[in-house]
Structure 1
């Protein structure tokens, strides 16, 4: 995923009201960025951090600038725009990087699945003759100093619901996959954040035992581009 136009840099002053961030631009002005991340962003909001943002150049948007990357402790870069994760994974499937998900004829986005009135939308549905693969993507940005990545960084009832729906998919005979998209250059393995959301951790292990495939892929992150690189271990 190449950033075009290129990202611009700034200094982080604060994140506020969850979806907003105030930054200091190199030429001395302040600006407000849209923050497309619903999590706690632990370790990614330190005052004075260098950040990079995209410019939609859309005059109809109230906040046309979007926070994309931050430099965290250790000099690692983190892609904080969780909306990029699905596109990154799809790109990784189509270019052959995600080896486990090759051989499908069609990929569809946001297809409804599950039961009940408030059915979810699967991130990606992969199909070939007689076979379907339901793929849920989660973006990992919480990293420890020892290289361990953790998910989630905040309690996620929605994420737990998705796991249970994937368990239903597997029970019905379709393929069900949860892929952790790790947009953090300092992470080399992934585990559930049991101290943050023990319910999610328990449900993740139940899902794995029920036939849901749990995989993780790391990424190269730079102000020029983000792309998936290779599979990372998932520690359950």
Structure 2
């Protein structure tokens, strides 16, 4: 998907809180919004080249969203609103092999006590619930999730098992918001409970999809499957 709004280069200075960052744009310091509540400490380092998306809402306190950052020569998208849009585009264009027969794509649908990102249906009425998780944590070509403990993410996985028990399809898609990834795993050191739930979900028939993205200063699109090691 192409970025519709204006994209501007800037330099990251610091992040006073999880919602905002201080950046330098054309030599001037300015506060911008960070659309990602994760830590991103290994990405948002003082002096890092970043990309800002200009927002035109007059009621906003900030003019820009910080959507991407360079880690060496690797461009990483950190906008937490992007993964669902990328996956929606991929589902419409039949890029997720196992899900190409699902023609109805509904967003934000509830099953049990959880709301999942997508509910898919075949013409036969067969249902499939899909949760999407954006991944920004990377080390030497190896990506992992989460970068901060997520009890909500763990509960999503357990609820997907219940979906399977009801005879419906269920899966979680980890969208790695960068290129050049060799392998993906759960971040057991950071959140062992999530890793345990992910393995439990896989053992009980929940599909685990992992895809990297092609990321440029103009767009981000789903690229190819990445090896899963959990």
What TM-score range do you get, normalising by the shorter chain? over 0.9
1:85 corresponding residue in structure 2: 83
Q: How far apart are 1:187 and its partner, in Å?
A: 2.0
Pick the aligned partner of 2:192 from 178, 189, 198: 198
Off by >4 Å, runs of 4+ in structure 1: none
Q: What is the Cα deviation at residue 39 of structure 1? A: 1.3
1:96, distance to aligned residue in structure 2 (A) = 2.3
1:110 match: 108
Pairs within 5 Å for 1:1-236: 1-26=1-26, 28-72=27-71, 74-114=72-112, 119-128=113-122, 129-145=124-140, 147-236=141-230
How many residues align? The count is: 229
Shift of 1:120: 2.2
1:112 Cα offset (Å): 1.5
SS across alignment from 1:97? coil
**SS of aligned partner of 2:225:** strand
The normalised TM-score by structure 1 is: 0.94
Deviation for aligned residue 1:186: 3.6
Q: 1:76-96 deviations in whole A, cap 9, x for unaligned?
A: 111000111001011011112
- TM-superposition CA deviations, 1:43-89 (whole Å, max 9, x none): 111110000011121112222311110001x3111100011100101
Q: Which SS does the other structure have where 1:17 is aligned?
A: coil
The Cα of 1:101 is off from its aligned counterpart by 1.4
Deviations 1:5-40 (Å, cap 9, x if unpaired)?
A: 3311100001121111110012x1112111111211
Contact 1:51 1:69 (C-alpha < 8 Å) held by counterparts: yes
Mapped to 2, the partners of 1:126 and 1:191 lie a distance apart of 26
Look up the SS of the partner of 2:15 in the other structure: strand
TM-score (norm 2): 0.96
Q: Which runs of 5+ in 2 are unaligned?
A: none
5+ residue gaps, structure 1, are: none
8 Å contact from structure 1 (residues 54, 68) kept in 2: yes
Q: CA deviation at 1:121?
A: 1.2
CA distance in 2, matches of 1:173, 1:224: 41
Please say if residues 140 and 151 of structure 1, whose CA atoms lie closer than 8 Å, have aligned partners that are also in contact. Answer: yes
